[in-house]
Amino acid sequence: MVMTEPVESADAEACGEKPESSPLSPLFTGEGTRRLHLYLVSDATGETLSSVAKAALSQFPDVAAVQHVSFMARSRNQIERALDMAASTGGLILFTLVNIELRNAMEEGALARHVPVINVLDPIIQNLAAYLGTPARPMPGRQHALDADYFRRIEAMNFTLAQDDGQNPQGLMEADVILLGVSRTSKTPTAVYLANRGIKTANVPVVPGLPLPEILFELTGPLIVGLTTSPERLVQIRRHRMLLLGQNETTDYIDLEAINRELTEARRLFVKQGWPVIDVSRRSIEETSAAILNLYYDRLNLM
C-alpha cells in the first residue's frame, strides 16, 4: 500500500506517531506490517523517481509506504524542508538531483541529521560515464524535453485512438503494429501502452462469422500480432463484463465451448498467415507490450 502527499503538507504531528530511536528503522503499524515514510525529492518532474520507487516497493509487500513528494525542487529551502521532515519521522529519502549544489546540500544535510538518503541515478550515471569515457553534462529534466520523441508519442496516440476496434481499415497501412484478437483479449489497453512508447498501433477484433478487412492480408509494412488467452480466463473476463453491463442471459459470448472454438479458429488464422501469437493469459499489459516491442525491433533490424 502506498499513500502520497506533498512534503509541504506533511509534518511530524500529522503522521500520528513518533519515530523509533533509530532513524534507519521504519515504523511498525502492527500485525507484522511496517510503515515507511519515504521522501521523493527531484529537481525535475519526478517521473523517473516515482517509477523507481514504485518498482522497488513492489518487492516489499509487508511494507506500508507513506510517500511524501517534493518535485521541481530548485531551492536549498526545499531540500532542507525534506531533510527536516525525514529526520522527524525516521524516514528515508530517495532523490534525483542533477544540480550539484542541491545534491551537495542534500548529502551534507543528511549527514548532519543522520537521515538515510539514496541518490537513485548516481550509480547509473557514474558507470555510464566510465564506460563511455566522457563526463555527464547535468541538466534537470533533460529527459522530458519537447523533442521529436515527444511529438512522435503524441502522433502515435492520436493514431491509435482513431484506429481502435477496427475503425477506418484503410488507415491500417500507416500502422507500425496491428493487434488482432477475439473480444476481451486486452487489445485496446495494449495498443494504448504501445502508443505511449511512440508505436502507432491499430487493433482489429476477430469476430466469429465476420471477415477481417481484406487489406490486412495485403500489408507487408506493419507487424501483425495475434493475441490469445485461455478459454477459462476469457470466460471469467466476459462474465464480469456482462455483470457490469447488467446482462445475465446465457449466450455464446460467455459459453466455454463456444469460446474454445472461437479461440481455436482465431489461432488457426494467425498461424496460417504467419502472424506471431502471444498468449496474454498470465501476462500484464506491460509484459505483453514488452513481448510485442521485442518482435517489433527484431523485425526492424532484419529489414
Binding site as annotated, residues for ADP? 181-188
The answer to whether 136 and 89 are in contact (CB under 8 A) is no
- Cα separation, 76 vs 100, whole angstroms: 11
- Cα separation, 51 vs 44, whole angstroms: 14
Q: Coil, helix or strand for 17? A: coil
- Cα separation, 195 vs 9, whole angstroms: 36
First to last CA, the chain: 45
Q: Which three cell numbers stand for residue 149?
A: 520523441
Contacts of 220 (CB under 8 A, 6+ apart): none
Q: How far is CA 269 from CA 39, 95, 136, 163, in A?
A: 52, 50, 51, 21
The answer to whether 70 and 77 are in contact (CB under 8 A) is no
- Cα separation, 5 vs 70, whole angstroms: 9
Please report, in range form, the residues annotated as the binding site. 181-188
The answer to whether 201 and 174 are in contact (CB under 8 A) is no
Q: Find the helix or strand (DSSP H, E) in which 203 lies.
A: strand 201-205
> Where are the alpha helices (H) located in the chain, listed in sequence order?
47-57, 76-89, 100-113, 122-132, 148-162, 187-195, 231-244, 256-273, 285-302
